[in-house]
Chain A
Amino acid sequence: QSVLTQPPSASGTPGQRVTISCSGSSSNIGSNYVYWYQQLPGTAPKLLIYRNNQRPSGVPDRFSGSKSGTSASLAISGLRSEDEADYYCAAWDDSLSGPWVFGGGTKLTVL
């Protein structure tokens, strides 16, 4: 059971905009930054979003993050086939869960 809650799956067609939600609590999302990772099959997770809505260099602006209260979301616009991957949210946690807590991951399928 993951500390952060994500939908197990999401889907969209090429060109569409999809969003993935991440729900937490006051000890993690509510009081700390949110991070988003993309994991392509057989590869290590890649940082997509840090500090709620910042993109590392090289990440297309099709990817955007937002946070409100104890929830966060990742939006992907202009969906492409290469966006098909697992997406994880993460946050620092001030409780005994550990400094980093993760969502269970969302499998994005591009139809």
Chain B
Amino acid sequence: EVQLVESGGGLVQPGRSLRLSCAASGFTFDDYAMHWVRQAPGKGLEWVSGISWNSGSIGYADSVKGRFTISRDNAKNSLYLQMNSLRAEDTALYYCAKGGSIPVWGQGTLVTVSS
């Protein structure tokens, strides 16, 4: 069974940093692109960032470009999101998602940016 488990969320002050992790299992991790998608409280879904299977292609939403960095470690079946210079508007549930023809999402980790 494909499983994605996010971790690393929490309460952080504006301007500080946080690193999210996603542990993948049940599939060949380095066969797939991976993504981060977020959902602000009471709002819709927003793609945040994506990375190809070999990290050769990386993309970011304009809202996080220059502040967030996506990375992966295929040896550890893990995906990461380094979030710097956090803002109140980054408060959201962050989901890790497997690419491919049948996307799979994790349960999410909550990031709250507040003083």
Contact = CB atoms under 8 A, between A and B. Distances in A.
A99 B59 contact: yes
Nearest to B46: A102
Describe B's contact surface by its main secondary structure: strand
Contacts of A105: 44-45
A33 B102 CA distance: 11
B22 to A, nearest CB: 13
Interface residues of A, number: 21
B101 A100 contact: no
Interface stretch (A13-21, A42-50, A67-75, A77-85): A42-50
Scoring B45, B46, B103, B108 by chain A CB atoms within 10 A of each residue's CB, the highest score goes to B45
Interface of B: 35, 37, 44-47, 50, 59, 61, 95, 101-108
A59 to B, nearest CB: 11
Interface of A: 2, 33, 35, 37, 43-45, 47, 50-51, 56, 88, 90, 98-105
Contact of A99 (B44, B50, B107): B50
Contacts of B45: 37, 45, 88, 90, 102, 105
Contacts, number: 46
Nearest to A43: B107
Given A2-B44, A90-B45, A100 B35 contact: yes
B59 to A, nearest CB: 6
Contact of B50 (A45, A51, A56, A100): A100
A44 B106 contact: yes
Nearest to B35: A100
A49 B49 CA distance: 22
Scoring A51, A56, A100 by chain B CB atoms within 10 A of each residue's CB, the highest score goes to A100
